[in-house]
Chains A and B, each alone.
Chain A
């Protein structure tokens, strides 16, 4: 569960990215976050992942409160989140399998757990048989599936995606969004930042619109009107 209460964020250079944001996302929800460029969408994502801290306000992320917790809690908070980026951020010199096993090792999973979990996740994202491929041997859509598999592999309670379809054609974008929807249906909370009006309209989920650092609308089954 995510709670942002009257959150302000001013960057070191004086840019006021968020100006009093209130947002609540409950477990199991699927939420689109939309808005024009520079409106503060990525800033909200970075606050949730603990990359930046709020200048003012209170927040809760899956039981952690990044505004006043010890830094050694941040890794534990991040283990409850799976993050996906527009540019995939796969490691080019590692195979699909290694890209996944390496983040499992990073949180202390054993080789046995790795061998059990990875095939399941690859099947879920539709990449069976691709485990020994390198990222540059895959299409953009497939690479983003690997990134989604990586986000899922440590079994987070929430997936956060910052423009996951920004580099993909409309058909691939739809497939990725559909995959995220299925993951949501399996019980994982999903927060997706996107610019793609068509997609948002097609899925009919909750849409939070932000403009100039403030939330201007928040409707379920809504349309992209940011």
Chain B
């Protein structure tokens, strides 16, 4: 017997199946869409957190406060010592008056603060480093310089972001696992239903000597089509959701901190990931459904 069975036949049979029991197919696609959307949303949150962390790190500076007993000249004299420290890229001296000015900026509405004397501020250096990863060693060395009273690093913010990112990642992983399993079962059930509708045909095909592969392929294609359809729908829905959330953050917070990555910058990668996930869920689900079914 010649092997002239072609993919065209399987695909058209698969398509036929998808539409011959539309509701189950619809439910299966919805499930995959939900799965991918949730997975995508949490992943995007994590990716954006990661991105913001990077932005924070790029600022790569910290502040060294100068002992109050130091005169301005003495304080400025420390510049040489600080610049000499390894990994320090540059230092900027900030007087307490300038510091007060900076602090009050953006807080004009608070009357009480207007009275704030500049003596509560201290002269300080803003210290830029070359390599952010070495920052804690550099901080330690800056602390040993006499005249430096205190050092403040904005790492706490970074730590906060790391926490949020980790939570997003953790939740995403758990949800993805759960939804993947649910999607798998829904797909498997859809395919089982398809095999049930066609059980007569299958019995006759097998009685006439059709191979297992020949009987199986249309159902695998059906699962694959459902998975890919879900992926495409999820991709565009994800786009909409992302734009919505970005718009919300942009109009409300206006935080200089929040630097959101545009969807289009990630679209290709998201699309491929969604397609691969949809494909895997679809094919695995249909294989699950027909594995047992095809014995003899």
Number of interface residues of A (CB under 8 A): 25
B207:A78 contact, CB within 8 angstroms: yes
Q: Which segment, of A26-34, A106-114, A121-129, faces chain B? A: A106-114
Determine the chain B residues whose CB is within 8 A of the CB of A105 once the complex forms.
5, 9
**A74 CA to B205 CA in the complex, in Å?**
13
**A150 CA to B1 CA in the complex, in Å?**
17
A51:B296 contact, CB within 8 angstroms: yes
**A31 CA to B109 CA in the complex, in Å?**
107
Number of interface residues of B (CB under 8 A): 20
Q: Which residues of A contact B (CB under 8 A)?
A: 49-51, 71-72, 74-79, 81, 83, 89, 91, 102-103, 105-110, 150, 154
Is B208 interfacial (CB 8 A cutoff)?
yes
Count of CB-CB pairs between chains A and B under 8 Å: 63
B1:A79 contact, CB within 8 angstroms: yes
Q: Which segment, of B50-58, B209-217, B281-289, faces chain A? A: B209-217
User: Shortest distance in angstroms between A67's beta carbon and chain B's nearest beta carbon?
Assistant: 14
Is B245 interfacial (CB 8 A cutoff)?
no
Q: Which of A79, A91, A150 contacts B209 (CB 8 A)?
A: A79
User: Shortest distance in angstroms between A40's beta carbon and chain B's nearest beta carbon?
Assistant: 20
B4:A108 contact, CB within 8 angstroms: yes
B200:A89 contact, CB within 8 angstroms: yes
B296:A50 contact, CB within 8 angstroms: yes
B210:A106 contact, CB within 8 angstroms: yes
**A74 CA to B215 CA in the complex, in Å?**
14
**A110 CA to B1 CA in the complex, in Å?**
11
**A91 CA to B203 CA in the complex, in Å?**
11
- Return the chain B residue nearest A147 by Cβ: B204
A-B CB contact pairs (8 Å), 26 listed: A49-B207, A50-B296, A51-B296, A75-B206, A75-B210, A76-B209, A77-B209, A79-B1, A83-B207, A89-B200, A91-B200, A91-B201, A91-B204, A102-B204, A102-B205, A105-B5, A105-B9, A106-B205, A106-B208, A106-B209, A108-B2, A108-B3, A108-B4, A109-B2, A110-B2, A150-B208
Determine the chain B residues whose CB is within 8 A of the CB of A154 once the complex forms.
208-209
**A83 CA to B210 CA in the complex, in Å?**
14
- Return the chain B residue nearest A153 by Cβ: B208
Q: Which residues between 157 and 207 of chain B lie within 8 Å of chain A, taking CB atoms?
A: 200-201, 203-207
**A50 CA to B204 CA in the complex, in Å?**
14
Q: Which residues between 1 and 35 of chain B lie within 8 Å of chain A, taking CB atoms?
A: 1-5, 9
Determine the chain A residues whose CB is within 8 A of the CB of B203 once the complex forms.
89
Q: Which of B3, B204, B296 contacts A103 (CB 8 A)?
A: B204
Q: Pick from B2, B207, B296 the residue with the most CB of A within 10 Å.
A: B207
User: Shortest distance in angstroms between B196's beta carbon and chain A's nearest beta carbon?
Assistant: 15
Q: Which residues between 208 and 250 of chain B lie within 8 Å of chain A, taking CB atoms?
A: 208-212, 214
Q: Pick from A81, A103, A106 the residue with the most CB of B within 10 Å.
A: A106
Q: Which residues between 76 and 116 of chain B lie within 8 Å of chain A, taking CB atoms?
A: none
Q: Which of A50, A51, A103, A110 contacts B208 (CB 8 A)?
A: A103
- Return the chain A residue nearest B210 by Cβ: A106
B201:A107 contact, CB within 8 angstroms: no
Determine the chain B residues whose CB is within 8 A of the CB of A109 once the complex forms.
2, 4
Determine the chain B residues whose CB is within 8 A of the CB of A108 once the complex forms.
1-5, 214
Instruction: Known contacts A103-B208, A106-B209; decide if A74 and B296 are in contact (CB<8 Å).
Output: yes
User: Shortest distance in angstroms between A123's beta carbon and chain B's nearest beta carbon?
Assistant: 21
B4:A110 contact, CB within 8 angstroms: yes
Instruction: Known contacts A89-B204, A108-B1; decide if A75 and B209 are in contact (CB<8 Å).
Output: yes
B1:A102 contact, CB within 8 angstroms: no
Determine the chain A residues whose CB is within 8 A of the CB of B210 once the complex forms.
75, 103, 106-107
